[in-house]
Amino acid sequence: MSTTPAFRRLPRAVREQQMLDAAVRVFSRRGFHAASMDEIAEDAGISKPMVYAYLGTKEELFIACLHREGARMLETIAGAIGPDLPPDQRLWHGLQAFFGFVATYRDGWVVLYRQARGEPPFAGELAMMRARMAEVVAGMLKRTLHAEGREVRETDLEIQAYALVGASESLADWLADRPDADPDQLATRMVNIAWLGADQLLSGEVWHRPAEG
């Protein structure tokens, strides 16, 4: 397929985004190995040499998709968490934005979570995104504790942050297969699960394992 004159007249940034949109759709359907550059070019309505010229090899194109979808997701979450909100509302708004992203960009989520994690060359990219999300959650908990004059070990904050991120990812993957599910309702349910434990942690309550006889 040849590249249309209309496509050539578009700004370069717009052309790249259209190619990335097509690549995300194809990668989500086929997976990295089964997807072909021919199919991606056809989906984008351009020539295959144009895809190579703009975004490089298939591996480079997949990484570009990961970076865009990951940045879009993190920016969506960060933009939803108001610094002046109470901590439970910050958590809810963050989860609402996260699940809303998955509901809106299902193909992007499939590429990020299902396709990337099973491929060693790309799993590291996903791990870095997960680490950034955990840092945001841990920072939110830490600021709340400091405001109440309490200190919690960094390890405890990190563990709770990763537990919340992991649980949210699993629910997001559940949501991706259910177009009729309500992301706002799912965010509320996740807060009910997560915040009860976080609230007890903030209040200094901990569970102690039974003494061994």
The pLDDT tens digits of the residues spanning 3-40 come to: 666 666 677 788 889 999 999 999 999 999 999 999 99
pTM of the model: 0.83
Task: Given CATH 3.30.70.100, say whether it is the number of domain 1-56.
Answer: no
Range among 121-135, 140-154, 190-204 with highest mean pLDDT value: 121-135
Q: What percent of the chain has pLDDT over 90?
A: 45
Architecture of domain 67-213: Orthogonal Bundle (1.10)
Q: What percent of the chain has pLDDT over 70?
A: 89
Domain limits, the chain: 1-56, 67-213
How do residues 130-140 score in pLDDT, each as one tens digit? Answer: 898 898 888 87
Query: Does residue 24 contact residue 65 with C-beta atoms inside 8 Å?
Result: yes
Closest by CA position to 69, among listed 20, 5, 32:
20
